[in-house]
Amino acid sequence: MKKKCIAMLLAGGQGSRLGVLTKSVAKPAVIFGGKYRLIDFSLSNCYHSNIDTVGVLTQYQPLELNSYISTGSAWSLDNVKGGVTILPPYQNRYGASWYRGTADAIYQNIPYIQSYDPEHVLIISGDHIYKMDYSEMLNVHMEKNADLTIGGLIVDMKEASRFGIMNTNQENRIIEFEEKPEKPKNNLASMGIYIFKWSTLKRLLKEDGELESSQHDFGKNVIPAALQEGLEVFAYPFRGYWRDVGTIESYYDTQMELLQQNPPLNLFDKEFRIFSNHESLHPHYMSSEAAATDSLISDGCLICGQVHHSILSNGVIVEEGAVVEDSIILTNAKIGKNARIKHAIIDESVTIADGEIIGSDERVIQLVGREDQDA
Amino acid sequence: MRKVMGIIFQRWDHKLQIFTMNRGISTIPFGGRYRLIDFPLSSLVNANIHSIGVLGGTKYGSLIDHLGTGQEWSLHRKTQDLAILPAIQNYSIEPGTFFDLRELYPSKLFIENQTTINMILFQPSNVIHNLELKQIMDVHFNKGNDVTIVTGNGYLEESIGSADENRRKWHGKEVLAVLVQRNIITQVLDRMNQGGAFDLLNMIRRNQEHLRVNVVQHKGYYREISQIKGYYQANMDMLEASVRKELFGGERKIYTKSKDNHPTQYINGSQVSNAWIASGCQVAGTVTNSIVSRETMIGVGSEIHNSILMQRARIGQGVHLEHVILDKAVTIRDNTVLKGSKEEPVVISKGSVI
């Protein structure tokens, strides 16, 4: 079955900078914005880009992620001509190995991609928050007859030294790639979104796979090799909302942006809906004592206390007299009577005891994880 | 082995015409995110009944849209069957009929083809409950009964004010479901041309001495919806902790079509008290003692009291609603005031702009 373009979604990352939030789940499965998980954004983008075949590469703590993706039906990826396939590391007759890097993960799944014999392969990751129609990028990639096109976010020149920067000429051809340059020459940052011609990618991966010295990473090895070889490598500038939520601070700040009157990420947009997979829950109930201002409250919540400037995921309980401020409360957590939560992130299924005080007026984010409670 | 088919049918003698201009009674929106049919349908799914026929009535567009492939109820498997059955109605149904078996005649094949079925469970589509059916079916099967009648008790059923209504009760009690051996139904369908009793309950009544009839009482919450007052009250029941716990708090879930909505956003100035609010809403005003459905927008300075807003209501600024029911997609312009009473709520029909 020949396809024009299929997607490979890298979802094996640990996301260790998210602390206890990723202690038992992979980063793409971390909850975001009340009812979403990080991977919803990439999978929904695939849906809106008419990409119907997605290989999801998993490695770290895959249980929750796998059951969440399930048949892919939540993102209409349960079709017969492709759909979503979970690709964990596997054993073959030469032995078994973990995915040693982003490029190695794709390398080990060459047979999967080959079974669709696509013209192009889109490589994305499952832990960024953005809405993007990849088909526009694919069109540009094909127009230029490029071997590789890299999605590039236009960032502030001042911030450019935090990113991998692509130096381009007028027709967006990449001349040079600099990882976190001290004196950036351009403000086009790599978003970790790649479209390769499949024939080129297959060759590059095989060459990289045989190199002992390689770290088997796209950014560090494969792309520099492609540039050195003089292949047709272009940048695709993307002007839009894009956030990396790799740290507790960015995870917190990005969600707090959703509470603005007109947030930069519009999740009410019906034309470009972000889909998610969750059980059918009843509407939330606000008791006679409840109050909610500047907040997002999801289905299944039971609110008897006060919620200000906070985000509550599915099935959260806030008991009488409790006050939740400037906080993110994840699925099925319970805030006991008269407890006070401020500037905090409360992990899934955590119970905060009656009267407990978490966080303070000081803007330091307190993180209460599931493991903290088991101890 | 017991294998049961569920038949969900429509009531014709209701007083909800303002809601049923373009939909059947079974798809009237309810409780912020549900449709009436979700409750009987979920009770079947929770009892592992996967062969289900839904009598669509004449206005079945919204039913087809709502049920889709049956995925939300896990009824889209290869070996499971969810069918919307045609209702060709060229006869008049007498007032007070529980279920006229002639409605099933065009779907005779649907029943005949499923040869492994040995019982059929009939339920009206307009009763809110979380009915436990597994045990009832087990007892029926193990005792070799011909008929089991599940009645309600405890909550006051609303009266539609007709002298005939007692006929669709069993000894004065509301009938929530009737479980009948399949062969009894197929025999009736085979002899249908010869005339006779077509009302299921009436038929059972007439043949009581030949049939093993068992009566089981559902002790929990239920409310039949067949007029505006009852619809209003049943929605308001969602504000009662005990009802919420019984309907939504247990193992038996109520399934419905999912909409992939954003969580509800409370914008500065919102005041909400004793309210049942679905996802995808934007609330800037005041809401008390009310039911707010998905994708509703409530503007700054507006007050909603004791009201039911169905999906996609657009409430402007400075609006005041009290004892009002808005059908789907109603727009209320700025500074509009609408007031009804508990006994007679103001009802605004679908898509109106006020």
What confidence tier does B137 reach under pLDDT thresholds 50, 70, 90?
A: very high
Instruction: Compute the distance between CA of residue B134 and CA of residue A334 in angstroms, rounded to an integer.
Output: 32
> CA-CA distance, B11 to B308, in Å (whole number)?
23
pLDDT at position B80 is 64
Does A186 touch chain B if contact means CB atoms closer than 8 Å?
Answer: no
d(CA A130, CA A254): 11
Write the residue in B248, B265, B293 that is nearest to A282 by C-beta.
B248
Say if residue A284's pLDDT is above 50: yes
Three-state DSSP state, B7: strand
Q: Across all residues in chain A, what is the average pLDDT?
A: 91
* pLDDT score for A207: 94
Query: So what's the pLDDT on residue A81?
Result: 81
Q: What is the mean pLDDT of residues A18-47?
A: 91
Q: Out of B72, B275, B277, whose CB is closest to A280? A: B72
Which residues are A53's β-sheet partners?
Answer: A83
Q: Which of A278, A314, A308, A315 is nearest to A293 (CA)?
A: A308
Of B267, B269, B277, the CB nearest to A284: B277
Q: Which of A141, A59, A146, A164 is nearest to A102 (CA)?
A: A59
Residue for token pair 């047709």: A232
Predicted pLDDT at B217:
92
As a whole number of angstroms, the distance between CA B149 and CA B178 comes to 5
Q: Name the A residues in 44-83 with CB < 8 Å from any B CB.
A: 73
- Identify the residue among A280, A310, A320 best suited for mutation to test binding to B, counting B beta carbons within 10 A and taking the highest: A280
User: A324 pLDDT exceeds 70?
Assistant: yes
- Mean pLDDT value of segment A145-173: 91
Q: What are the backbone dihedrals phi and psi of residue A212, each rounded to the nearest 5 degrees, phi first?
A: -60, -35
A vs B: CB pairs below 8 A: 104
Does A273 sit within 8 Å of B268, measured CB to CB?
no
User: Taking CB atoms and an 8 Å cutoff, what residues of chain B touch A76?
Assistant: none
Residues of B in contact with A280 (CB under 8 A): 72, 253-256, 258
pLDDT at B155: 45
Contacts of B274 in chain A (CB under 8 A): 286-288
**Radius of gyration, CA atoms only, chain A:** 22
Q: Do A282 and B280 lie within an 8 Å CB cutoff?
A: no
Q: Which residue of A has its CA nearest to B287?
A: A286
Q: Are B174 and B222 in contact (CB under 8 A)?
A: yes
Give me the residue from B255, B266, B273 closest to A288, CB to CB: B273
Question: A163 vs B48, which has greater pLDDT?
Answer: B48
In this predicted structure, what is the pLDDT of residue A375?
Answer: 46
* Direct distance between the N- and C-terminal alpha carbons of chain B, in angstroms, rounded to an integer: 57
Using an 8 Å CB-CB cutoff, list chain A residues near B31.
Answer: 282-283
**Which chain A residue shows the shortest CA-CA distance from B32?**
A283
Q: Which residue of chain B comes nearest to A75, CA vs CA?
A: B260
CA A48 to chain centre: 16
- Please choose, from the candidates A236, A148, A233, the residue with its C-alpha nearest in 3D space to the C-alpha of residue A197: A148
Q: Do A293 and B265 touch (CB under 8 A)?
A: no
In angstroms, what separates the C-alpha of A68 from chain B's closest C-alpha?
15
Bridge partners of B150, per DSSP, are B177, B216
CB contact under 8 A, A283 and B292: yes
- B→A interface, C-beta within 8 Å: 31-33, 71-72, 238-239, 244, 247-248, 253-256, 258, 260, 262-280, 282, 287, 291-293
Local structure of A177: helix, strand or coil: strand
Residue A287: pLDDT over 90: yes
User: Which range, A187-201, A264-278, B161-175, has the best average confidence (pLDDT)?
Assistant: A187-201
Per-residue pLDDT tens over the stretch B66-88: 888 788 887 777 666 888 888 76
pLDDT in tens, A196-237: 999 999 999 999 988 888 889 898 899 999 999 999 999 999
pLDDT higher than threshold 90 for residue B172? no
Write out the E strands in A278-365.
284-286, 291-293, 295-297, 302-303, 306-308, 311-312, 317-318, 323-325, 328-329, 334-335, 340-342, 344-346, 351-352, 357-358
Whether B321 shows a pLDDT value over 90: the answer reads yes
Q: Give tens-digit pLDDT for B210-249.
A: 999 999 999 899 998 989 999 999 999 999 999 999 999 9
More confident residue, B161 or A167: A167
Task: Out of A280, A287, A292, name the one closest to residue B274 (CB).
Answer: A287
| DSSP summary character for residue B323 | S
pLDDT in the model for residue B2: 83
CA distances, A90 to each of A20, A72, A96 (Å) = 28, 21, 6
Looking at the predicted structure, is the pLDDT value of residue A159 above 50?
yes
Site of tokens 């009566």: B215
Q: For residue B63, give the nearest of B29, B109, B101, B102 by alpha carbon.
A: B29
* % of chain A exceeding 70 in pLDDT: 98
Nearest to B308 by CA among B256, B244, B232: B232
**Cβ atoms of residues A118 and A52 within 8 Å:** no
Strands, E assignment, B235-306: 264-266, 271-277, 282-283, 286-292, 297-298, 303-305
Please judge whether A285 and B244 are an interchain contact, meaning their C-beta atoms are less than 8 angstroms apart.
Answer: yes
Share of chain B above pLDDT 90, in %: 64
Q: Which site among A285, A294, A314 would you substitute to test the B interface, given the most B Cβ atoms closer than 10 Å to its Cβ?
A: A285
Residue A189, chain B, CB below 8 Å: the answer is no
Q: Cβ B276–A299 below 8 Å, yes or no?
A: no
Between these two residues, A89 and B234, which has the higher pLDDT value? B234
Secondary structure element (H or E) that encloses residue A156, with its range: none
The set of residues, in sequence order, having a beta carbon less than 8 Å from that of A358 and lying 6+ positions away, is A339, A340, A341, A342, A344, A346, A352, A366, A368
